Amino acid sequence: MKTQTAVKSAVLVGFMAIGLAMPAQTPTSLKHAYQGCFLVGAALNASQFTGATPRNFALITTQFNSISPENVLKWEVVHPKPETYDFSLADKYVEFGQTNHMFVIGHNLVWHAQTPKWVFEDEKGNPLSREALLKRMRDHIHTVVGRYKGRINGWDVVNEALNEDGTLRQSPWMKIIGDDYIEKAFEYAHEADPKAELYYNDYSLENEAKRKGALDLVKKLKAKGVPINGVGLQDHVHMDWPTADQIDNTISEFGKLGMNVMITELDIDVLPQATPSQTADVSLNIAADPKLNPYPNGLPESVQQQLANRYADLFAAYAKHCGLVTRVTLWGVTDADSWKNDWPVKGRTNYPLLFDRGAQPKPAFKAVIQAAPRKTS
């Protein structure tokens, strides 16, 4: 199995003329700019890795050395019915990553969302017993992780188990199994592929209460000898949250516990906030309102520049921890693909990523490249 370090050193240096005026020595790919610091990844949807001419193929392979599956490895897709597994899309995703020598992420194994209702019920529709749900979880993890043993390099084993106040979310997993469902998930994943990296992944971990909850959780898991390698900070962020200090402290605190830290789902929301807190709770659905969608025909230059500055600041904050931060993954490739166009308000025009709707690099792309640590030779 490739480790993140091995992948870093094996990465082919990719240069691409993409229409930005940069000095001759400046790398023009994200993965090259941050080589030796961290991997740079993107979440892909099925249209990007299936078919004879995958959408934005050259852009993806030139810019990124890691991929995450936006949806195709979630329970509802790979295991829609008790006796039915469907790996048709997941197989293509993994093949795409392997063919292009990328560090392939599995997302995710145990989550409260995009998990069918039947998972938690018996054939009569009654809640499953603890033992039956543990068996179902183990079977699922062994089947999915086992299928991609040695090919998926790291797994988001448990996703979003915490509430904003740092307590454990009362998900069906928690209610039926109890709080040890988390350690069991990691144990099963480790049994299925002992060499895969295993992560806890969540949003808003920069906020103090939730961060404390996650730190306590990791401490507890480590004390019990649970095989956990890293923590994923999703980083669905805003222009003014989190601060560089919050990011810095969060990365350092998890580092002190011996965790690798990954930024797993980065995007920056430039639209007016429709919710009071910094959540990424997928169940939110807020009514459309033109005031919440101010840039339907394009982003004003001034905001474009603010976005570029914000991206540069974030990457500088991550790069301060080169090596401890092992990967930064953007949640999508172009603005057209982003879930942020439909959440938490459907049908908005958002601009959260580094490539525009025509797959052209935005000023933020250049800013990220320029924020990379300079190599001394």
Which residues form the interface with ligand G3I (CB under 6 A)?
70-71, 113-114, 159, 234, 265, 280, 282, 339
Q: Which residue is nearest to ligand G3I (CB)?
A: 339
Q: Which is nearer to ligand G3I, 148 or 339 (CB)?
A: 339
Q: 165: helix, coil or strand?
A: coil
Contact by Cβ (8 Å): 326, 32? no
Query: What's the maximum distance between 2 C-alpha atoms anywhere in the chain?
Result: 67
Nearest to 219 by CA among 187, 254, 190, 176: 254
Nearest to 174 by CA among 164, 165, 185: 185
Q: Which is nearer to ligand G3I, 20 or 336 (CB)?
A: 336
The secondary element (H helix, E strand) that includes residue 212 is helix 208-223
**Which residue among 123, 187, 265, 301 is the active-site one?**
265
- DSSP per position, 48-82: HHSSSS-TTHHHHHHH-SEEEESSTTSHHHH--BT
Shortest distance, CB of residue 26 to ligand G3I, whole angstroms? 31
Q: Which is nearer to ligand G3I, 3 or 71 (CB)?
A: 71
Shortest distance, CB of residue 323 to ligand G3I, whole angstroms? 25
State yes or no: is 191 an active-site residue. Answer: no
State yes or no: is 160 an active-site residue. Answer: yes
- Cα separation values, 371 from 30, 33, 70, 315, 318, Å: 11, 9, 27, 7, 10
**Which residue among 160, 197, 206, 253 is the active-site one?**
160
Q: Looking at this protein, which amino acid is placed at residue 20?
A: L
Q: Which is nearer to ligand G3I, 105 or 312 (CB)?
A: 105
**Active site (catalytic) residues:** 160, 265
